[in-house]
Structure 1
Amino acid sequence: MQSSQPTPPYHLRGDRIGREFLQLLPMGLFVAIFGIAYGLAAVQTGLAPWQATLMSTTVFAGAAQFAVLGMWGSEVALLAIIAITLAINSRHILMGAALFPMLQKLPAGRRYGLLLLLTDANWARSYQQYQSGRENLEAIIGGGLALWLAWIAGTAFGTYFGRLLADPEAMGLDMVLGCFLLAMALSGPRSRRILLVWLVAGVSAVLAWYWLPPHVHVVVGALAGGLVGLFWREKPHVHD
């Protein structure tokens, strides 16, 4: 009978945080471009430049911020804004759960402070390395800081000069993050189980995108793929 041992703490390293900052800094360029589009849309909706920049600084959730602009006016439906923000960002519940084996090694204050910087890109990098046997929470901090600063800078620039780049999707820039996430997924471990998880998640997300309300497809795809992984467990390796 094996005795349970306490989980060893996770020690964040400043040098690795700096390297991860530089690693995701190129992705920050594309984040800044969408920040420019958001800044332009925000001032056209009626927000002052400082209000749009403050929202990007404190909220840091691009899709949710764009959605909120459609509900902005002289009277703001606060409960509706909270509901749509929760729906769009509910994928973070699953992302946080995937990182829990590493997060549990941090004190509560550092754990929740770190999650304020969680995005799709730095989560994908951290989780892909975790699947390969390497723990890298520094990617959440360093990469998150790079993307957060890029989002703020893009928003501030867009409030004054956003007309120079009003429609980044017209140049295909909306595909950059998707391609990055796909590259992270393909560079991870491969097995029939993993391939089936991705297939079920992708098909479910596409069907939900066609038939269900906006933004729900992200959660549907994640839950469908997660259920496959839950019921198809890999046998643990036996070490001599």
Structure 2
Amino acid sequence: MKSMPNSQTANVRLTMAGAVRGARSLGPISLFVIPFGIAFGAAAIERGVTPDQSIVMSLSVFSAAAQFAALDFWEGPLPTISLLLTVFAVGTRLILMGATLAPWLNRLSRPKRLLALSVLSDVNFADSYDAFRRDDRDVGRLVGGGLALCICWALGTAIGVIAGASLGNLERFGIDVVMVAFFAAIAVGQWEGLQDLLPSAVAATVAVLGLTLLPPGWNIVLAAIAGGIAGLLWHGR
């Protein structure tokens, strides 16, 4: 990760206006989270999770990948250690996201920092990091976008709990393509020339190869590490 000039991290704040901007920025994308929430809610009920537990999990954990992974272990007696290790593995990418946002978040008070991190996800990380690099110093953008995503995720879960099974396979509508397109657009917007080619290629290769060879989530972690090492060696040569 490149070091940030002081001008990009000075006067960092968290305001309601920034939260509103974040919610507006990710509002349209957040709507496409609802079908994924419906799928989780329906799957949770099938696995024996109660409606209340399903909705509380979506509000408190707020991690689609980790929640779907947890369902594989949802049987009695609950294998707590295996469940925790799996959820940790899936969530390790958040460590990398937090480290990337540290130059901005570490300038906030601890309560505000924890608030921002509690709603951190792949989508609002990508949106906020891009905005921060363009001199938006209001971390409210991260919080507002995260809250919009969390609300839609919980809403989708509630719908799935009530009527998910009757809706059929939602992937037939092509909704799963929306997130891929969003991240592709963010990545293209951050492209800074041929100097980014090698790290990007290394990270993409590791991510794709690890998709079938590694447990869920680990391919993203290793791809970020491999891309970072490649970038360090390439730029430091």
- TM-score, normalised by the number of residues in structure 2: 0.90
Aligned to 2:158: 156
The answer to whether the 8 Å contact 2:13/2:138 transfers is no
Larger radius of gyration: 1
The answer to whether the 8 Å contact 2:11/2:137 transfers is no
Aligned to 1:38: 40
The residue type equivalent to 1:48 in the other structure is: T
RMSD in angstroms over aligned alpha carbons?
1.9
1:108-158, Cα deviation, whole Å (9 max, x unpaired) = 221122101001111001112233344342221010000000011110111
Aligned to 1:180: 182
Aligned to 1:118: 120
Aligned to 1:143: 145
| Residues 191 and 133 of structure 1, relative CA distance in 2, 3 Å threshold | farther
Unaligned runs of 5+ in 2: 1-5
The answer to whether the 8 Å contact 1:37/1:165 transfers is no
The answer to whether the 8 Å contact 2:202/2:227 transfers is yes
Give aligned pairs, total. 230
The answer to whether the 8 Å contact 1:131/1:189 transfers is no
Distance (whole Å) between structure 2 residues aligned to residue 185 and residue 51 of structure 1: 36
Q: Does 1:199 align with 2:197?
A: no
Distance (whole Å) between structure 2 residues aligned to residue 206 and residue 75 of structure 1: 35
Bigger Cα displacement from structure 2, 124-133 vs 62-71: 124-133
% identity of equivalent residues: 37
Shift of 1:95: 0.6
The answer to whether the 8 Å contact 2:93/2:217 transfers is no
1:47 is paired with a residue whose SS is coil
The answer to whether the 8 Å contact 1:131/1:188 transfers is no
Aligned to 2:3: none
Unaligned runs of 5+ in 1: 236-240
Task: State the structure with bigger RCO (CA 8 A, min sep 6), 1 or 2.
Answer: 2
The residue type equivalent to 1:162 in the other structure is: G
Distance (whole Å) between structure 1 residues aligned to residue 176 and residue 182 of structure 2: 11
Aligned to 1:91: 93
The answer to whether the 8 Å contact 2:200/2:227 transfers is yes
Distance (whole Å) between structure 2 residues aligned to residue 62 and residue 165 of structure 1: 19
Bigger Cα displacement from structure 2, 90-99 vs 210-219: 210-219
The answer to whether the 8 Å contact 1:132/1:189 transfers is no
1:1-240 to 2 correspondence within 5 Å? Answer: 8-233=10-235
- TM-score, normalised by the number of residues in structure 1: 0.89
Shift of 1:75: 1.1
